[in-house]
Structure 1
Amino acid sequence: MQTPPEIPIRLFLTQPHECGYYPERQARSLVLDPASPHLAHAYPNAINLGFRRSSHQIYRPHCAGCNACTPTRIVVERFRPDRSQRRCAARNADLDVHVAPAAFSEERFALYVRYLAARHGDSPMANPAREDFESFLVGSWNRTIFIELREAARLVAVAVTDVLPQGCSAMYTFFDPELAARGLGTCAILQQIAFAARSGLPFVYLGYWIDGHPKMDYKRRFAAMQVLRNGSWQDLA
């Protein structure tokens, strides 16, 4: 695997804003210059340093007095599903899996709107426009795929996945809120791991994990997990 070249790029610090995980706290982020023409080249190095992509921005939490957000990744060749994950895979074995370039479609957008209304009905995200979908999920400079899950041709889940030289980044997943019993979020991660394995990519980056936070506990259940601590990737004990 060839190491991406180092490219000078400006770094900005956002203003304080409400933390998405602890509302009583203030959060800030380091953001690579969103106007830089070198974002695509910087992205592989940045993700190894704990950054993530959101829309057109590459960011990393940088909060005063708090370092709870811990970058995570799965070592693909060492991953073995546990019993619960095997059951999830069996429960969804009837679904067809299709990998497509990231792009807008009315079918995908309708599913996205339903998902946000069910999961984030009281937030500004709940009423997205087409431009919001394209900006957040498709982007302009990144290589992104949609791993689609279909039940008898009906779209039921989309795993939005950035493809990098060293692995996949699980950027976002949305699914039919009426099919919660299927465990489509877990199924999507399993499909991303399978795609990375087929593509010879060593890692799947799962974003940030917060020890003890109920919304983040599912990430700990994936075997072969590594976390970025003190500047180096370490196995999560």
Structure 2
Amino acid sequence: MTINYELGITKPFPCNYLPGQEERLLVAVDTNLHNSVHYGWLMQQGFRRSGNDIYRPHCINCQACQSLRVLVQSFTPSKSQKRLLKRNQQFKVVVSEQIKPSYYPLYEQYINNIHNDGSMFPASEEQFQSFTLNNITAQYYIEIWHGETLISVAVTDKIPHALSAVYTFYHPDYRKYGLGVFSILKQIEIAAQLEHQFLYLGYQITQCDKMNYKNRYNPHQILVENQWQTVNK
């Protein structure tokens, strides 16, 4: 039996990552796809979610966005990643399955101090809820603590056989500790402990300074012409 699902295509709009470019998205509008099992399948096809919207870049003349996932069972940290792990041994990692009131003030500090030149400034509760609340899949909230102080939270989707990194925010005073990288390393570690295959990191965009860091976790796979290709640098 063949099952058909409804997808939509947005109109072109200015690209958020490459100046002078336009982007458009393929959107999974069929609500039958809005559950963890189907979302896991869609992620294998290069989709991501933002809130309750599931999408994939569908640009006519550009293939800059490459879906990337880390092979967590065979991951080996680089020398710099090992140094970071050693340096941050003082921090405690706690995995929560419930959002906590302390998260939003930390997020607000993060956006208003570190990303005050970006499209998410100023921080708002509505914006915060767009990635911490959804009707598609459950989440982990990977907390990093320095003593009694919450210094970072990595919002992580739970999908079959994988985790998906959604968004990480941290205290501005701890910027020098590389908490974004540290959080990804801990997400890889947790995914491996859960015996998952992958940690999805979203789209690697080599030409964009803010989006060209995801290929530093090896080995990983990128989706090229609907085929996953393994990269082991």
- If the length of structure 2 is used for normalisation, what is the TM-score? 0.92
Of the three residues 79, 83, 89, the one matched with 2:85 is: 89
Tell me what 1:36 maps to.
Answer: 31
Cα gap change, 1:130 to 1:181, in 2 (>3 Å): same
**Letter paired with 2:112:** A
- The alpha carbon displacement at 1:163 in A equals 1.0
Deviations 1:195-226 (A, max 9, x none): 10111101001110123432233222211111
- In structure 2, the CA distance between the partners of 1:142 and 1:74, relative to structure 1 (3 Å rule), is same
Structure 1 partner of 2:214 = 219
Residues 159, 174 of structure 1: 8 Å contact kept: yes
The counterpart of 1:158, out of the listed 138, 153, 158, is 153
Look up the equivalent residue of 1:196 and give its one-letter code.
A
Alpha-carbon distance in 2 for matches of 1:143, 1:7: 25
- Secondary structure (helix, strand or coil) at the match of 1:148 reads strand
1:82-109 CA-to-partner distances (Å, cap 9, x unmatched) read 110011111111111111114251x110
Separation in 2, partners of 1:217, 1:122 = 19
AA partner of residue 79 (structure 1)? F
Q: What SS does the aligned partner of 1:125 have?
A: coil
Unaligned runs of 5+ in 1: 1-5
Alpha-carbon distance between aligned partners in 2 of 1:68 and 1:159, rounded to the nearest angstrom: 25
Greater mean deviation of Cα atoms: 189-198 or 131-140: 131-140
Instruction: Give the whole-Å Cα distance in 1 for the aligned partners of 2:49 and 2:19.
Output: 22
CA distance in 2, matches of 1:98, 1:138: 20
Which residue does the alignment assign to 1:189? 184
2:175 alignment partner AA: A
TM-score for both structures, normalised by structure 1: 0.91
Q: Secondary structure at the match of 2:191?
A: helix
Question: 1:68 corresponds to which residue?
Answer: 64
Q: Deviations over 1:30-54 (max 9, x none)?
A: 1111x61441132011000000111
Q: Quote the offset at 1:15 in angstroms.
A: 2.0
Shift of 1:123: 4.2
Distance 2:119 2:219 in 1: 36
Letter in 2 for 1:168: L
Secondary structure of the equivalent of 2:128? Answer: helix
Using the TM superposition, give the Cα deviation of residue 119 of structure 1 relative to its aligned residue in structure 2, in angstroms: 3.3
Aligned length: 230
**How well do the aligned residues superpose, as a CA RMSD in angstroms?**
1.8
% identity of equivalent residues:
37
Equivalent residue, structure 2, for 1:146? 141
Which 4+ residue blocks in structure 1 deviate beyond 6 angstroms? none
Report the equivalent of 2:22: 26
Runs of 5+ consecutive residues of structure 2 not aligned to the other structure: none
Q: Distance in 1 between matches of 2:119 and 2:212?
A: 25
